[in-house]
Chains A and B, each alone.
Chain A
Amino acid sequence: MSNGRHLAPRPGFVLDVDRNSPPIVFHHGEGFRLEKLPPGRSRVIYPAEPLEGLADPDGAIRHALDNPLGDSEPLRSLLHSDMKLTIAFDDISLPLPPMRRPDIRQRVIEAVLDLAAEAGVDDVHLIAALAIHRRMTPDELRHAVGDRVYDAFAPDGRLYNHDAEDPDGMVVLGETPHGEDVQFSRRAAESDLVVYVNINLVAMDGGHKSTATGLSGYTSLRHHHNVHTMSNSRSFMDQKNSALHASNWRMGKVLRDAGVKIFQIETTVNNDTFGRTGPMALLQKREWEWSTRDRMQFLAMKAGLDLMPSGAKRKAFSGWQAPYALTSVQAGEVEAVHEVTTANVYQQQLVAVEGQTDILTMGLPYICPYNVNSIMNPILVMCLGLGYFFNLYRGRPLVREGGVLILSHPTPWEFHPVHHPSYIDFFEQVLADTTDPAEIERKYEKQFAEDEWYIHLYRNSYAYHGVHPFYMWYWGTHALEHLGRVIIVGGDPAAVRRMGFQPASSLQDALEMASDVVGPQPTITHMKNPPIFMADVT
């Protein structure tokens, strides 16, 4: 302990704040805040330390392909020379931040392609399974699959982005017993085998969602990316209590019944988001274990960031690549694979927490799944806070019903026009009218989903689909129903108010404002995330 090294990764930890507790680092977009939490009634949840990565990732991958789980033959047995093979893989939204080279997708795809080459398979397509996310740029694709694969497949058009609006490229394969259309990539549907390559960063990823969502389009997505589903997913990170999960599983069955053969390869990574060394390493340390050098380094970094213009800060943070290590890889039949994957995710991320809190605080970082190499606009701030982070629980929400959520983020009224064109319109028109997810869905979703210009930009530029900001807003449905108030510290007041939240200039002000809702002397819990963890609340 004395030299800061540990024999084994420590599990997650809940700190009860007392008078001797140091200020806590809050993420605050492309910056940080140091906040002193009230002693005696505050606690801080720390993630577990990063698990050790596999010593031989490539060997583990080959082993998984040869030793599948569930009702599946080894991959090499499924490959033959006259077949049509489609390899689909997770898009730019995973992992976060992007990982250092070699990306896990590269390792897995190279292993799959080696087997395909041995079997003499010529007809191979690689598809970034992005559903209605923005297309990946050539550089982003190259980073994900590596130079060798990119140079072999991209030039002749065999490596490309999924296009959910290609009228000739999509097909409806059937309907679930719940009346949900199952729309799918025609190329994947007509392939003899679909190999899916996943990076399972959080518990909601993977399984049937990989294909049923990643290779589908609005026709399918509208059945589960909606207010009803989100309201009935408590949480959507907890598969057993997620209507989103259930819908994807129903769709997965339709795919299987339609004859789509899927060989699922899932991977997990540790939570080594900021590295054990380097300028960001102290973000993974617990504050009371900081050395004098850490404190000096942090203060210097914070002072520098405070002086930098936002564009420069954004560029600096966007350049960060996480040194994630592969902790598991499993392949074979979708559901059998995903069960093991989920257990491995939980092993890294679950932190036991006793009881709920009156006020939940979060420092939101600079990145979420939808602003890689982009701008974290206000809608994405909402989605990250009230969607992803709020739902990172199993059992009960960390904050009690009627409690207050306090976010820390600059929340600039700023949008990336290339990546998020419909977000601008959503913010200007829809949220100016109402912030109620159900009303938004009823009044506006169809218009945005079918807007020809958005579709054009999604297909030909690098824009998220027109309906995407709706889904981001729906992502927060459960939180909006549950919470008594949302306050954003340090956010642009106009942007914060447009979303129906309250701006506060400091955490102290926010706590005072929160007391109007939860009363004096409330209990406070801070989610010190990222690195990502999931609260197991009893």
Chain B
Amino acid sequence: MKALQFRRNLPRYAAARIAGGFVPGGGASAGPLSLVDMDPPTAPGPDWVRVRPRLSGICGSDLATVDGRSARYFEPLVSFPFVPGHEVVGDLDDGTRVVLEPVLGCVSRNLHPTCTSCADGRLGNCEHTSFGDLEPGIQTGSCHDTGGGWATAFTAHRTQLHVVPDDMDDVAAVMVEPTACGVHAALAAHVPDNGVVVVLGAGTLGQVTLAALRAHAGPRTIITTARYPEQRRMAGLLGADLVIAPDEVRRAVRRTTGSRAIGAPTIGGAREGVVDRLTGGADVVVDCVGSSASLTDALAVVRPRGRIVLVGMPAEVTLELTPLWHREVELVGAYTYGTETIADGTQRRTFDMATDLVRDADLGRLVTATYPLSRYREALEHAAAAGRRGAVKIAFDLRDEKERNDL
């Protein structure tokens, strides 16, 4: 089969980091990712089936891997070589169209009894990750044994698969996985009724989180930061009340919340009127960027006892945590999905909610361009510059790959 494979190769890893530093996505040309012919992964057990991807998305975490920017935290949580790709809509051998829920929890690792988190349906919080019958890998797309979506085939545990409704096309279906992240983040935000929410970042995660907040929370105002015109336009369509440039967020939140502001003192300069941080602020900030700058902004604009939800995958960040301490701010992560408890107390699978949201909010429109595997360098560079090029989600289209259809 044909696949994009990521090998452990330190010199190439360093080259990817350098190349990615010059041109985002540049790590695809210089790094340890390559297009190869390889044997399809062997099913690790009887409940595993072959999936032939139709569309497979490129995620921000994939780009961080390709450009050598991933946190070292993940080193023991992946197994080399691996095939990236976890946003997948594909076909089973019997022709059933499925989307992949890529988290590898206790069940897929053949661990019994399962950990408490998996028992509760919170697969993303699995306490046995990297153990069991599988090589390490928190998700399909980072585990050697399963393969990944950037290939003409991979293997998946039956519990990882969700049948795609007939009325949902492939482009919409490939958005279900990232949308599930947004749904989970929106629910983790615990937005008070009539509250003010700030969404930092308007890439894919920012957009789907925005849509999920609009669908599953009752905020008075959602403020979204967006760097590029198409991101701004889309954020407006998906329900942002105010879309602003990232460097305008502190003033915008101050205006919206009626807060006062504090300017950090400097030598010789009056600071009244400068907005370095707010005395009040937003009830919730959802950080879909995950950088030092975005987290600093989040801490500057969240109200005392407010909540920051970190959705964007961070690596190492430098952060002044005094405001977190002083203002008793909650900083929580939101990773993937599982089972959600919704307002009426009932529980639903996040993927089911995401499937509904993709349909209701027409999130398939976020898929801007697709590429064949052979043009993976262009695809990754496009994805890394998506905002600037007026795009949101870039995906590989494998439907016409000869190797896929010959399998």
A460 to B270, CA, bound (A): 13
Q: Could you tell me the distance between the alpha carbons of A428 and B249 in the complex, rounded to whole angstroms?
A: 10
The residue on B at minimum CB distance from A447 is B255
Knowing A428-B251, A429-B252, A451-B258, the reply to whether A417 touches B244 (Cβ < 8 A) is: no
B255 contacts A456, CB within 8 Å? no
Assembled-state Cα–Cα distance A423/B95 (Å): 61
User: Which A residues are CB-close (under 8 A) to B263?
Assistant: 417
Partner of B273, one of A428, A429, A432, A461: A461
A418 adjacent to B251 (CB under 8 Å): no
Closest to B272 in A: A461
Are B252 and A463 interface neighbours, CB within 8 A?
no
Within 8 A of B (CB), among A340-365: none
Q: Are A457 and B272 in contact (CB under 8 A)?
A: yes
Complex CA gap A460/B273 in Å reads 11
Q: Say whether, besides A418-B270, A418-B272, A418-B273, A453 and B260 are in contact (CB < 8 Å).
A: yes
Within 8 A of B (CB), among A395-424: 416-421, 424
A457 touches B252 (CB 8 A): no
Query: Do A463 and B255 have beta carbons less than 8 Å apart?
Result: no
Using Cβ atoms and an 8 Å threshold, which residues of chain A touch B245?
428
Q: For B251, B255, B263, which residue has the most chain A Cβ atoms within 10 angstroms?
A: B255
Interface of B is mostly: loop
**Nearest CB on B from A205, distance (A):** 28
Are A425 and B273 neighbours in the complex by a CB distance under 8 Å?
no
Q: Are B251 and A425 in contact (CB under 8 A)?
A: yes
- List 9 additional A-B contacts (Cβ < 8 Å) besides A418-B274, A428-B245, A432-B244: A416-B273, A417-B263, A417-B271, A417-B274, A420-B273, A421-B272, A453-B261, A456-B260, A457-B273
Q: How far is the CB of B215 from chain A (nearest CB, A)?
A: 25
Q: Does A462 contact B (CB under 8 A)?
A: yes
| B248 at interface, CB cutoff 8 A | yes
CB distance from A348 to the nearest CB of B (A): 37
B144 at the interface (CB under 8 A from A): no
Q: Which among A417, A451, A460, A463 has the greatest number of chain B C-beta atoms within 10 A? A: A417
Contact A428 B260 (CB under 8 A): no
- Residue A35, interface by CB 8 Å: no
Instruction: Write the nearest CB–CB distance from B226 to chain A, whole angstroms.
Output: 12
Q: With A418-B270, A461-B272 known to touch, is A424 a contact of B261 (CB < 8 Å)?
A: no
Q: Does B339 sit at the interface, judged by CB under 8 A?
A: no
How far is it, in angstroms, between the C-alpha of A429 and the C-alpha of B252 when the chains are bound? 8
Interface residue from B252, B259, B272, B274 paired with A428 (Cβ < 8 Å): B252
Nearest Cβ in chain A — how far from B376, in angstroms?
36
Contact A429 B255 (CB under 8 A): yes
A68 CB → nearest B CB, Å: 43
CB of B97 closer than 8 Å to a CB of A: no
A452 CB to nearest chain B CB (Å): 6
**A452-B260, A463-B272 given as contacts; is B254 within 8 A of A428 (CB)?**
no
- Alpha-carbon distance A416/B261, docked complex (angstroms): 16
CB-CB contacts below 8 Å: A417-443 with B: 417-421, 424-425, 428-429, 432
Contacts of A417 in B (CB 8 A): 263, 271-274
Q: Can you name 9 A-B residue pairings with CB atoms under 8 Å?
A: A420-B273, A421-B275, A428-B244, A428-B245, A429-B242, A452-B260, A456-B260, A457-B272, A462-B270
On A, residues with C-beta under 8 Å from B are 416-421, 424-425, 428-429, 432, 447, 451-453, 456-457, 460-463
Q: How far is the CA of A447 from the CA of B244 in the complex (A)?
A: 18
Q: Which residues of B contact A457 (CB under 8 A)?
A: 272-273
With A424-B251, A428-B251, A429-B252 known to touch, is A452 a contact of B273 (CB < 8 Å)?
no
Q: What residues of B have a CB within 8 angstroms of the CB of A461 in the complex?
A: 270, 272-273
Alpha-carbon gap, A432 to B272, bound state (A): 24
A538 to B335, CA, bound (A): 73
Minimum CB–CB distance from A362 to chain B (whole Å) comes to 30
User: Shortest beta-carbon distance, B399 to chain A, in Å?
Assistant: 41
Task: Decide: A428 and B248 in contact? CB cutoff 8 A.
Answer: yes
Shortest CB-to-CB span from A465 to chain B, Å, is 12
Q: What chain A residues lie within 8 Å of B251 (beta carbons)?
A: 424-425, 428-429
Bound together, the chains give a CA A424 to CA B248 distance in angstroms of 9
CA–CA, A428 to B251, complex, Å? 9
Given contacts A417-B263, A452-B260, whether A425 and B272 have CB atoms under 8 Å apart is: no
Task: Write out the residue numbers on chain B whose beta carbons fall within 8 Å of the beta carbon of A425.
Answer: 251-252, 255
| A464 nearest in chain B by CB position | B273
The CA-CA distance from A417 to B273 in the complex, in Å, is 5
Closest residue to A460 on the B side, CB-wise? B272
B256-278 interface bits toward A, Cβ cutoff 8 Å, 1 = contact, 0 = none: 00111101000000111111000
Once bound together, how far apart are the Cα atoms of A215 and B77, in whole Å?
Answer: 70
Q: Which residue of A lies closest to B245 (CB)?
A: A428
Given known pairs A425-B251, A429-B244, the reply for A463 and B273 (CB within 8 Å) is: yes
Which of B244, B272, B274, B275 is close to A462, meaning CB atoms less than 8 Å apart? B272
CA distance A463 to B263 in the complex (A): 14
7 A-B pairs closest in CB distance: A421-B273, A461-B272, A417-B273, A453-B260, A418-B273, A417-B274, A428-B248
Shortest Cβ distance from residue B232 to the other chain A in the assembled complex, whole angstroms: 10
CA distance A289 to B275 in the complex (A): 51
B258 to chain A, nearest CB (A): 6
> How long is the Cα–Cα vector from A463 to B255 in the complex, in angstroms?
16
Q: How far is the CB of A456 from chain B (nearest CB, A)?
A: 6
Complex Cα distance, B273 from A463, in Å, reads 8
CB distance from A505 to the nearest CB of B (A): 23
Give A462 to B273 CA distance when docked, in angstroms.
Answer: 9
- In the complex, are the beta carbons of A452 and B258 less than 8 A apart? yes
| A residues less than 8 Å from B255 (CB atoms) | 425, 429, 447, 451
Nearest chain-B residue to A423 (Cβ)?
A: B273
> Chain B residues with Cβ under 8 A from A418's Cβ?
270-274
CA–CA, A457 and B261, complex, Å = 10
Residues on B with beta carbons closer than 8 Å to the beta carbon of A447: 255
Interface string of B237-253 (1 = CB under 8 A from A): 00000101100100110
